[in-house]
Each structure stands twice: as structure tokens, then as C-alpha cells.
Structure 1
Amino acid sequence: MSSTDETRTVIENYIRALQGGEAVERRGEFFAPDATWTLAGDLPTSGTWVGPDQIFHGFLPAMLARFDTTKPMRQEVRGVIADGDRAVAEWTTRATTAAGAEYVNDVVIAFRVVDGRIAEAREYFDTAYANRVLFAGN
């Protein structure tokens, strides 16, 4: 398998686990021990999170706290483009906020895969929209 094929497979498998609600349990399978996840912008959750535990027990819960997790949260994937150890995934997130509002935001994540695991993820979405809908009044 070429590095491009391996990278695409790792990212597609991670997205399937995310969509299936298995990403937290399988984080060690998908993320290198020193992996970083960076959320661009100036949201309270923006910054760089280091290691699977910080990513899945710090960053992710801080974001999920803004949503009604009793309602579906979907990632409608548009595609994954891979080249060597790099991949870009594009999707639309659809969810309901904790306040009951509809949340729809387009997301792009640039990944780097090393030795079959995600070493780096840089996430981009409309943070002004997210701030209005998710963090207003906080």
C-alpha cells in the first residue's frame, strides 16, 4: 500500500469510527501518542491539544458540551483527498445545540499520518458562526 493509500484509509476509517460513535474508544488506534489537534480561530476551545487523551478528554468534551448530545450529530462527508502522508477531509456537521438551535457548519480538517496513525490534525470551520450559535452569552 502506498503512503497515499494508507493515509486515505486511516482517515476514512477514523471518520467512520467518528460517525459510528467509536472514535473515543478507538483513539489509541487512530492517533499517535504525541498527536496534535489544532482548532483555528478564537473560540474558547481554539488552540492546540496534544495527545489522544487531551484531544478526546479535553477538546472534544468542551465542544460537545455545547450540543444536545441526546439528538443526532452527523458528519456528511464530501470527500477525502490524500497525497503522501497528508490528507484533507471535508464535511458538513449537522447537530442541535444545547439551547435547542439548529447547527450546520462546513468543516475542513488537514491531517498528517505517520506510521499508520494521525500525527496532526488542523481543523477549520466558520468560527464566527460557531461563536454566535454555540458560545453566545458565555
Structure 2
Amino acid sequence: MTNTPSNLAIIQATYEGTSEENGKNLLAVLAPEARWTEAAGFPYAGTYVGPEQIVAGVFQRLGTEWDGYNAKVHTYLADGDRVAAFGVYSGTYRKTGKHMSATFAHLYHLKDGKILSMEQYVDSHMVQQALTAQ
């Protein structure tokens, strides 16, 4: 029997704690060449490579542009080296003061306990509505 955490446990640890714990856990398991793809239509759309780009391009922006931003997972599915997380984003965009709630799916590919890639699928229309002032 091995004490190595399962791929499912690795991904769960990036969602189930405080924001600080989740961030620490994520940084610990990102491969140096990890590819992180944010969906078209999402404000941070594109592919970020490596922990520095991922943190600067996605997580620092989420932390500074939104109030109460949260990614709450309700379902995980694991199949070998792939783990999917399904849930709901919520938060208030600071520039407009508009709140949003949008469904998402994240598909992770792992190898040897490290995240090689993440691809985001999201209801970007709900997010875009929060970004625009009326």
C-alpha cells in the first residue's frame, strides 16, 4: 500500500479549504510546465504555462478584481490520470458591483502527482454580464 494521495485527493485539496490553503496546495502540485486554459469568453481567456503565469494571469486577477470570488465544487469524477470538477463560480465584480453565479467544469490531467494541464468550461455569459455596466 502506498501513502501517495490519489489524483482525486490532489484535486480536492485545491478546492476544499480556505483560499490560502487551496492556493498553497495548488502551487505544490503544479508541474513546472503545467498548461492552464481559461475558456473563450471568460475574462482571463487563454492558456498560461507554468505556475508563475498561472498565478499572475488568473489567480492574482481573481483576487484583486472580484469580491467574494468562490469556486464551489459539487461533483468530482476521476478516471485514471484525469479528474473533472463540476461546480459554481460566484462573486461580485468590483468595477461594476454586479454579482454573478456561473456553472463550470474543470478537466485536469495529472502525472506522478502533478497537474500537467487544466481546461476550463464555463457559462461565460453569466460572467460577462457581471463585467458590463448598464
Task: Give the TM-score normalised by the residue count of structure 1.
Answer: 0.81
Q: Residues 42 and 122 of structure 2 are in contact (CA less than 8 Å); yes or no, is this contact kept in structure 1?
A: no
Counterparts of 1:1-138 in structure 2, within 5 Å, are 6-17=6-17, 19-68=18-67, 72-98=68-94, 99-134=96-131, 136=132
Q: Distance in 2 between matches of 1:110 and 1:83?
A: 11
Greater per-residue strand proportion:
2
Q: Residues 62 and 69 of structure 2 are in contact (CA less than 8 Å); yes or no, is this contact kept in structure 1?
A: no
Task: Give the TM-score normalised by the residue count of structure 2.
Answer: 0.83
| SS of match in other structure, 1:54 | helix
- In the TM superposition, what is the alpha-carbon distance from 1:116 to its structure 2 partner? 0.3
Identity, % of aligned positions: 26
| SS of match in other structure, 1:128 | helix
- In the TM superposition, what is the alpha-carbon distance from 1:6 to its structure 2 partner? 1.4
Q: Residues 44 and 57 of structure 2 are in contact (CA less than 8 Å); yes or no, is this contact kept in structure 1?
A: no
Q: Residues 88 and 111 of structure 1 are in contact (CA less than 8 Å); yes or no, is this contact kept in structure 2?
A: yes
RMSD after superposition: 2.2
Q: Any stretches of 5+ residues in structure 1 without a counterpart?
A: none
Q: How many residues align?
A: 130
- In the TM superposition, what is the alpha-carbon distance from 1:129 to its structure 2 partner? 2.3
Instruction: Name the CA shift for 1:125/1:43 in 2 (closer, same or farther; >3 Å).
Output: closer
Q: Distance in 1 between matches of 2:62 and 2:121?
A: 14
